[in-house]
Amino acid sequence: MARIVLKIDVDTLRGTREGVPNLARMLDRFKARATYLFSLGPDHTGWAMRRVLRPGFLKKVSRTSVVEHYGVKQLMYGVLLPGPDIGIKGAAEMRAIHEAGFECGIHTWDHVYWQDNVRTRESDWTAHEMQKSYERFIGIFGTPPVTHGAAGWQMNGHAFKQIDAWGMRYASDGRGHTPYFPVVDGKTLTHVQMPTTLPTLDEVLGIDGVDETNVAARILRQTEHNPHDQVFTLHAELEGQKLAPVFEQLLAGWRAQGHTFATMGDYHAALDRDTLPSYPVVWGEIAGRSGELIVQPD
């Protein structure tokens, strides 16, 4: 049938230490390939609580049980507790995943700080934040990162250009329907964007009667009899922990549908770059998620 590209965003220290190895064990059982994208600097998860005045945020929090998934201590990082350095305290778990054969890349330096600021920041700020994650990645893995997937699907034009400057050939920084070359300031960049195409679990949970007992079936309906490759973003903090049984249902369901599993690198290697379209970088809304994010025009 088609490929399911598994893109794992790792946002927190707890996700790195607990969710990352949990997911690896599940993926091994299904012989599934996947790409891990790591947050490499301080864990300031508690800062996210400042978003309570943002339209739709409280509704999402109530739907997805943020405290239950992240834990009270996690939500205090950056508020009542100092934010631990994920790239130092979680380095062993990161290296273990790389040594186990999974593709690894950059998610961000400081997840909440990036997500809440990048849209309006200039090139110097953007380059500084991205370079910290790049250097930390090399320090942990001993090799430059091959790919990038933005925190919260939040970017700016400078960030897209930085991916080119790093020499990366592919990334997944937004939402959309097909791989494409991004156009920034009228210039077509050289790396391929492979956007997330399927909804995430937290975007559909709690809507229209969807709960943990039927959310896997809801996602699987979108890939049944669908010949197109899909990119699915999951989170070490959700599918790697409380929602692990749901993710196992997805893996089993996709296998039963005849799909194969792929890393971002596998997916890119199978693309014909000469035939890919180009699209301008734009912002838009996604059902079930508060605020705007990078989207691919229809």
pLDDT tens-digit profile, the chain (298 residues): 799 999 999 999 999 999 999 999 999 999 999 999 999 999 978 645 554 444 554 454 444 455 455 555 555 554 555 679 999 999 999 999 999 999 999 999 999 999 999 999 999 999 999 999 999 999 999 999 999 999 999 999 999 999 999 999 999 999 999 999 999 999 999 999 999 999 999 999 999 999 999 999 999 999 999 999 999 999 999 999 999 999 999 999 999 999 999 999 999 999 999 999 999 999 999 999 989 999 999 8
H or E segment to which residue 161 belongs: helix 157-166
Q: Please tell me whether the overall predicted TM-score, pTM, comes out greater than 0.85 for this model.
A: yes
Classify burial at 189, counting beta carbons within 10 Å of its beta carbon; exposed 0-12, middle 13-18, buried 19 or more.
Answer: buried
Contact 283, 160 (CB under 8 A): no
Q: What CA–CA distance (Å, rounded) separates 90 from 141?
A: 12
**Distance between CA 188 and CA 185 in Å, rounded?**
8
One-letter amino acid at 230 equals Q
What's CA 75's distance to the chain center, in Å?
Answer: 20
From CA 237, how far away is CA 13, in angstroms rounded? 9
d(CA 266, CA 263): 5
Left, alpha or beta for 107 (phi > 0: left; psi -120 to 50: alpha)? alpha
Domain count, the chain: 1
Q: What is the CATH number for 115?
A: 3.20.20.370
Contact 96, 21 (CB under 8 A): yes
Distances (CA, A) of 243 to 24, 90, 151, 211, 270: 14, 21, 20, 11, 31
d(CA 248, CA 244): 6
Structural domain that includes position 84: 3-295
Is residue 106 helix, strand or coil?
Answer: strand
Q: Please, what's the largest Cα pairwise distance for the chain?
A: 52
Report the DSSP pairing between strands 282-284 and 293-295: antiparallel
Cβ neighbours of residue 47 closer than 8 Å, sequence gap 6 or more: 78, 79, 112, 113, 116
CA distance 102 to 32: 10
Pairing outcome for strands 35-39 and 3-10: parallel
Which pLDDT belongs to residue 55? 52
Please give the pLDDT value at position 178: 98
Residue 70: per-residue pLDDT: 54
Count how many Cα atoms sit within 13 Å of the Cα of residue 150 in the half-sphere of its side chain: 31
